[in-house]
């Protein structure tokens, strides 16, 4: 395609390298970018480079942050004795959005996956164990409800048990508002097993 | 959400200002960008700024191009006496992909829309009429099959008729592979009206 040589072609290639963006979307985005003022394009481009250059891991919980210590870990009103372990910063963001969790987090940056060759040494477990040497009451494991997430949860649980610190796992079950007929059997069984008296 | 302050928040805002990218996708893209090497982020950012800075309208057909004259208009093997009028460079790209059209194009950069207050003076019609003073056999109107596209087609047709140049309109009908039961009535009627003997 002649007209996708040069600068437009390069931009379309770059955009379609992003996850979830196919050639058609990349094309649409590229023409949008060409249609907005250059200052706006610079703002967009700079926001990406600036973020990448300035974001680092929080020294405490390892989430991505602008500061040495992220705002959550720096907040003295949060319960620093309660640590929720999540796979990545997006999961942390999801729990923060509930606005109800008062503890702090620990970001693993991955999950154990024998299939993908990701072992315990490849996720931030050493850092978690180091934090547990401090004053911690409970570790809540909030890894995903996938095979990798469950494997990781099991592994962490066994690792922490000897320390005597309470370890819990977030509940699996039917999503609120979920229609039973569309939910897979494994989830339905989990919901049954996890039933509570009312 | 505390953790979306600063650089990450700014990047998410910027990304979600793009068409078709909601907050969730912007978040996913942002974390992806933070996970790739800085050189890759710079390549992505530069590709957008470079394109915006270097792309201009082709002096002939007004499509977006790196050069004074786009590769299609510069190609002497194309039939310069046949001009296909399209609304935007994406439509041009779509027809180029067929690989079968041998003529050249004219990009209107819009369509007449009384609803949106876009009149004939707001699209590149003066430039089209100027081109028709040269040696042109046929103008093929390939504006979209929408109300705006049809209005524009009608307007252009009336404008060109007095010059004696042949004006044609691409066919409307059932898309190839389209299942009749899922196609709207207007399209079905168009397909009927446009029937040809076989």
DSSP state of B4: G
Q: What is the pLDDT of residues B36-80, one digit of tens each?
A: 999 999 999 999 999 999 999 999 999 999 889 999 999 999 999
Looking at beta carbons, which residues of chain A come within 8 Å of B65? 3, 6
The CA distances from residue B7 to A55, A56, B86, in Å, are 7, 11, 40
The residues in B 103-132 lying below 8 A from A, measured between CB atoms, are none
Closest chain A residue to the Cα of B56, Cα to Cα: A34
Q: How far does chain B reach from its first CA to its final CA, in angstroms?
A: 65
What is the structure's pLDDT at A4?
A: 61
Residues A129, A120: Cα–Cα separation, whole Å: 12
Q: Computed from CA positions of residues B37, A69, B11, A149, in that sequence, does the dihedral angle turn out positive or negative?
A: positive
pLDDT at A175: 82
| Whole-number pLDDT of residue B99 | 85
Of residues B20, B27, B34, nearest to A55 (C-beta): B34
Helix (H, G, I), strand (E, B) or coil at B45: helix
CB contact under 8 A, B31 and A92: no
Quick one: pLDDT at residue B174? 78
- Evaluate the CA torsion angle B1, B2, B7, B10 in order and state its sign: positive
Whether A11 sits inside 8 A of B65 (CB atoms) is no
Cβ contact B127:B106 at 8 Å? yes
Q: Is B8 exposed, middle or buried (0-12, 13-18, 19+ CB in 10 A)?
A: buried
Whether the model clears a pTM of 0.80, i.e. scores above it, the answer is no
Q: What is the pLDDT of residue A162?
A: 93
Secondary structure (H, E, C), chain A? CHHHCHHHHHHHHHHHCCCCCCHHHHHHHHHHHHHCCHHHHHHHHHHHHHHHHHCEECCCCCCEECCCCCHHHHCCCCEEEEEEEECCHHHHHHHHHHCCCCEEEEECCCCCEHHHCECHHHCCHHHHHHHCCCCCCEEEECCCCCHHHHHHHHHHHHHHHHHCCEEEECCCCCCCCCCHHHCCHHHHHHHHHCCCCC
Rounded to whole angstroms, the Cα distance separating B71 from A9 reads 13
For the beta carbon of residue B119, count every other beta carbon within 10 angstroms. 12
CA separation, residue A36 to residues A39, A171, B98, B197 (Å)? 8, 46, 29, 48
User: Using the 8-state DSSP alphabet, how is residue B145 labeled?
Assistant: S
Please report the pLDDT score of residue B152 as a whole number: 95
* ipTM given for this complex: 0.75
Q: What is the pLDDT along chain A (198 residues), one digit of tens a residue?
A: 445 668 999 999 999 999 999 988 999 999 999 989 999 999 999 999 999 999 999 999 999 998 899 999 999 999 999 999 999 998 898 888 888 889 999 999 999 999 999 999 999 999 999 999 999 999 999 998 888 999 999 999 999 999 999 999 888 887 877 777 777 878 887 778 777 766
The residue ranges of chain B whose pLDDT is under 50 are 1-2
Of A13, A30, A52, nearest to B41 by CB-CB distance is: A52
């Amino acid at each position: 395609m002649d007209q996708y040589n040069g600068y437009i072609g390069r931009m379309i290639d770059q955009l379609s390298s992003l996850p979830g963006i196919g050639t058609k979307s990349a094309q649409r985005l590229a023409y949008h970018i060409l249609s907005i003022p250059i200052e706006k394009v610079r703002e967009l481009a700079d926001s990406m480079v600036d973020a990448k250059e300035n974001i680092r891991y929080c020294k405490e919980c390892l989430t991505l942050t602008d500061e040495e210590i992220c705002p959550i870990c720096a907040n003295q009103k949060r319960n620093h004795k309660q640590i929720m372990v999540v796979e990545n910063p997006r999961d942390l963001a999801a729990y923060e959005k509930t606005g109800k969790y008062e503890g702090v987090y620990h970001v693993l940056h991955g999950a154990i996956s024998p299939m993908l060759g990701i072992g315990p040494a490849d996720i931030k477990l050493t850092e978690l164990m180091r934090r547990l040497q401090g004053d911690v009451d409970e570790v809540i494991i909030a890894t995903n409800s996938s095979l990798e997430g469950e494997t990781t949860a099991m592994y962490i649980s066994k690792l922490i048990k000897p320390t005597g610190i309470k370890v819990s796992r977030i509940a699996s079950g039917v999503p609120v508002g979920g229609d039973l007929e569309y939910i897979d059997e494994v989830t339905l069984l989990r919901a049954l097993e996890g039933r509570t008296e009312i």
